[in-house]
Structure 1
């Protein structure tokens, strides 16, 4: 191609470059690899083509504040190893449940979440996860939703001045889009949002992904992806993505078409379901499916 033809072709080249789809940002939860060390996690994430890591326990320890990798003496080394692997810690999965109405149990959950906010700030991690989680029968649903919202407000205030955002996962009894929307509208803080786990919602509500998304889209900051065979009686069996009967393809299509910029995070619940295939099989399958 001569210089003149090249210059004439530049607009088309530029347009094609702009239109080329960007690769999706992929992460996985350490829930799926409970037997891996931190070095194993970093090596496999890098080699398999992931960009992010969502930490939900390490080894036998589920509470990250008790893991030696994140102790004051080791945290700088952990961060440097992560950076050297061109990976980012994107979310810390706490066990905090916000449905408690009063007493020591409620305070314990809030204190646990606050420790995760502190750790996330030290790790330059943008998110921590909390659960809604139950709807106790001795209280009205409205009263419990208010308690969850007030807990989020307290955590929001605690995180003020940091770059950490508190994300409520669509989980447990609180998976109806209308209930989640009540909580989010009641809180209405920039540093509070949602983790959209469509599968947690779908197995109970059978609501279409587009209906879920339209209701919650203004609050979705992070996404969990998993698939399974959902049975008529409400039970289910986890599968690799694309091998179940949930509308996983539709979920990804909706997110892409609406220019979702966050991570697509694979939540393989190997820690809770030891019978599931090993992460050495599941994690590459997720990347393959997402690339397709």
Structure 2
């Protein structure tokens, strides 16, 4: 009885000035739109090109590049959700707000990733989330902290992100929440690591439920 919430494409994880790659990614996007309609899904995720400098320097070019995808999505009735990705031009809530204000269309929403926002030098909650909270349809959950000067993925609840308040803030909202599997334990065991992180998330969710 599992249901598919959406198809997360890798669209626009490429360089913004690479015309050949841009066209190839648009074709990927069109295929994902086609599959999304076949599966009766309402939205799909895209990115905002590899980071090469501050968003302000690339914003107009980014709007130009996104416009064709937005037109396709609008025509096909599929909403685009943009993930904030620290390796891309739009890395945190502040960048998302800047982009949303610029495109100003109901066909573009947000895949909010607090972990990525943290790595992109933002306090995810309440700072980043507060800027885009009315546009979020999907949220990735992964925790992170700085250890010895570097970012390290952690099990949920053991990093620096205030997930108790973040998850409380989306309670009863129509948002898809996905646990991401970046964290690895000392044995580098993917399954054990993900189970540990999942239990950490469940613990927080149970605490939130009990407090209401």
TM-score, normalised with respect to structure 2: 0.80
Q: 1:163 to 1:150 in 2, by over 3 A?
A: same
Q: Point out 4+ residue stretches in structure 1 off by more than 6 angstroms.
A: none
| Contact 1:210–1:254 under 8 Å retained in 2 | no
Q: Is the aligned partner of 1:107 residue 2:23? A: yes
- SS, match of residue 218 in structure 1: helix
Q: Which structure has the higher relative contact order (CA within 8 Å, separation 6+)?
A: 1
Give CA-to-partner distance per residue, 1:238-275, whole Å, 9 cap, x none: 32x2122322222112223xx5221221111379xx92
Q: 1:145 to 1:229 in 2, by over 3 A?
A: same
Q: Distance in 2 between matches of 1:287 and 1:234?
A: 23
Q: Calculate the aligned-residue CA RMSD, in Å.
A: 2.7
1:117 to 33, 58, 73: 33
Q: 1:207 to 1:288 in 2, by over 3 A?
A: closer
Output aligned runs, 1:64-213, within 5 Å: 85=1, 87-97=2-12, 100-137=16-53, 141-171=55-85, 172-173=87-88, 174-213=90-129
Q: Distance in 1 between matches of 2:95 and 2:77?
A: 27
Q: Match for residue 210 of structure 2?
A: none
| Contact 2:122–2:128 under 8 Å retained in 1 | no
For structure 1, the 5+ residue unaligned runs are 1-84
For structure 2, the 5+ residue unaligned runs are 208-212
Q: Distance in 2 between matches of 1:105 and 1:190?
A: 27
Give CA-to-partner distance per residue, 1:17-69, whole Å, 9 cap, x none: xxxxxxxxxxxxxxxxxxxxxxxxxxxxxxxxxxxxxxxxxxxxxxxxxxxxx
Q: 1:208 to 1:226 in 2, by over 3 A?
A: closer
How many residues align? The count is: 200
- SS, match of residue 265 in structure 1: strand
C-alpha displacement of 1:117: 1.1
Between structure 1 and structure 2, the one with the greater Rg is 1
1:251 to 166, 182, 194: 166
- SS, match of residue 195 in structure 2: helix
- SS, match of residue 124 in structure 1: coil
Q: 1:102 to 1:284 in 2, by over 3 A?
A: closer
Q: Is the aligned partner of 1:262 residue 2:178? A: no
- SS, match of residue 190 in structure 1: coil
